[in-house]
Amino acid sequence: MRILITAGPTREFFDTVRFISNPSSGRMGFALAHAARRRGHQVVLIAGPVDLQPPGGVETISVVSAEQMFRASLKAFTNCDAAIMTAAVCDYRPASVLAHKLKKRAAPRIVKLLPTRDIAAHLGGIKRDRVIVGFAMEDQNARRHAETKRRKKNCDAMVLNGFANIGSTRATVEILRADGRWSKPVSGTKLQIANRVVKLVEELSTRARLTNRGA
């Protein structure tokens, strides 16, 4: 298969040097790219700003903003059989970007924010028989919000991530399938979890092809 994987954070600048972002390390996405490549798949890795070396044999596209990741993902997905959306994409971006560094002043400043485009939801709307696995980072009502995200984004599965996983080489996740079944908590190194997620993508892709063939 040819698999699209998004990883890392995005940065949304409001002047030439300052931006909105998040602490995503990109380790889960890079582990997925490594696991998928090791299992014989072609991989397109679209990564935000991270301090990681891409796995060998993986096509890597570096981006900064949510809009850049959206455009790169849409283009790459055209020739992919599946997508694993691990990137921590900023939900909002400044409405305007100053062409110079904003000078400090004593008075408060107001920055107008606009929503960014939802990459997973867009790909979910055009996927047809292709498979999409999403990642959800939640800090309250986690399962309920993950279930809502899976339906809204039309994902075949949703991996519920925890804040304790950020920046770590290990993680604990739960996996929600489209039929509403939840896995038990899965703990291990991010590479071990990545292997499990890639195997899930293989299983879901095989099932989708068989269903499509029998339709």
Residues assigned a catalytic role: 22
| Token pair listed for 29 | 């996405």
Name the DSSP class of 113.
E
Handedness of CA 160, 38, 132, 184 (dihedral sign): negative
Q: Find the DSSP H helices in the chain.
A: 27-38, 66-77, 119-126, 142-153, 190-214
Beta-strand runs (E) in 89-185: 92-94, 113-115, 131-137, 157-161, 170-177
| Token pair listed for 22 | 């998040």
